[in-house]
Each structure stands twice: as structure tokens, then as C-alpha cells.
């Protein structure tokens, strides 16, 4: 059985389709925007696009397997220090395989659809805390503090215009006024006062 190859016309369209799918993948975009892979996160994401295109265009005797593509995508995310367990790797791999088959047949509808539609809103992604990966102490601590400060609270859409900092400062005032209405008094800790055993 002779394997089909992308034509000179379909190859650039397929490459654009790969880019469109990967740039709409929330896990990949979050990793790039937050530089989880370091300063060259964008370069690493572009390398994933190139690797995926090479996966489909390399001359090989065996057929293309979706498992191999999933492994390639997972390795690419790992280069960005990102681990995805939401099933999106499988979903993206399936979309890429279907698009490849369509482009082999000269059908570019899925690429055209991606061109005309707006990218979906980016989901809130929380970086995982890996205590066993403490290689770069000073730089990672400041970066993880920045990421934690930016990603600390998932704000519902109805409150998205509110400032999370002002929300946090308002809460204690409400609690203090509620305590005063109830007649309770705040008592400080007695740890440093009194006897030591």
C-alpha cells in the first residue's frame, strides 16, 4: 500500500492548520504566556509546531499512529515544564490526524473554519507545585511567586471586573463589623505572653 503525501499546495495549508490548532490549545498558550519553559518558551512552542509538521511529512515505511503523535505533544509540553492530565493531548492529536487526512484529500474546510472562527477564551490554568524540582532556587522562587500572585484566585465572570486585592481588603472589615455587632471581642494570641515550660 502506497502512503499518500501532502502536495505542494496542501503542505503550507496543513502547516497553518497545525499552528492554528496549537495556538488555541489552552495548556500550550498558558505555558508560553507565563514562560513556564523559561525565556525561550515561545521558541519551544514553535519547535512543537515544527516537530508535529515533521511527524506528518517524514518519509517512513510504517503508518502514522495517534499514540506516537500524543507522545510527541506530551514531550513538547514537558519541554515547557507543563503536565496536562485533562485529555486535551488526545483531543489535539485527534484534530491534527483528522486535519491531515482532509488535507491529503485536498479538503481544507477544517483549516478554513479555524481561520474564520475566533479563538476560544483561555481557561484558567494553575501550575502544579512540584516540590522535588528545586533546581534554580532564586530565579524560580521569584517567578513562582509572581505566577502565584497572578493566578491565586479564579474569579467568576460576574466579578471579573473587580479588583481581587480590594476584595481581599474588604473581607476583614466586614468580619470586624460583624464581630462588633455580635458583641464579641477579638483577643490576641497568648503565645509570647505568660510562662514558658
Q: How confident is the model at residue 140 (pLDDT cuts 50, 70, 90)?
A: very low
* Mean pLDDT calculated for residue range 143-172: 42
pTM to 2 decimals? 0.59
* Mean pLDDT calculated for residue range 161-183: 47
Question: Helices 88-104 and 66-79 sit at what angle, rounded to 10 degrees?
Answer: 120
Q: What is the pLDDT of residue 180?
A: 53
Q: What is the pLDDT of residue 47?
A: 94
Q: How confident is the model at residue 165 (pLDDT cuts 50, 70, 90)?
A: very low
Amino acid at each position: 500500500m502506497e502512503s499518500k503525501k501532502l502536495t505542494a499546495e496542501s503542505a503550507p495549508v496543513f502547516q497553518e492548520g497545525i499552528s492554528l490548532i496549537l495556538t488555541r490549545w489552552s495548556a500550550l498558550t498558558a505555558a508560553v504566556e507565563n514562560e513556564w519553559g523559561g525565556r525561550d518558551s515561545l521558541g519551544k512552542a514553535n519547535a512543537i509546531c515544527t516537530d508535529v509538521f515533521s511527524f506528518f511529512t517524514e518519509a517512513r515505511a510504517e503508518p502514522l499512529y495517534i499514540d506516537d503523535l500524543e507522545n510527541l505533544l506530551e514531550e513538547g509540553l514537558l519541554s515547557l515544564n507543563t503536565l496536562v492530565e485533562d485529555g486535551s493531548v488526545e483531543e489535539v492529536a485527534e484534530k491534527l490526524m483528522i486535519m491531515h487526512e482532509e488535507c491529503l484529500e485536498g479538503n481544507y474546510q477544517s483549516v478554513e473554519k479555524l481561520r474564520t472562527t475566533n479563538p476560544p477564551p483561555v481557561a484558567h490554568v494553575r501550575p502544579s507545585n512540584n516540590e522535588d524540582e528545586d533546581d534554580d532556587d532564586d530565579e524560580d522562587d521569584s517567578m513562582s511567586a509572581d505566577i502565584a500572585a497572578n493566578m491565586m484566585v479564579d474569579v467568576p465572570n460576574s466579578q471579573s471586573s473587580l479588583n481581587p486585592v480590594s476584595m481581599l481588603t474588604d473581607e476583614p472589615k466586614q468580619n470586624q463589623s460583624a464581630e462588633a455587632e455580635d458583641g464579641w471581642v477579638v483577643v490576641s494570641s497568648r503565645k509570647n505572653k505568660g510562662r514558658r515550660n
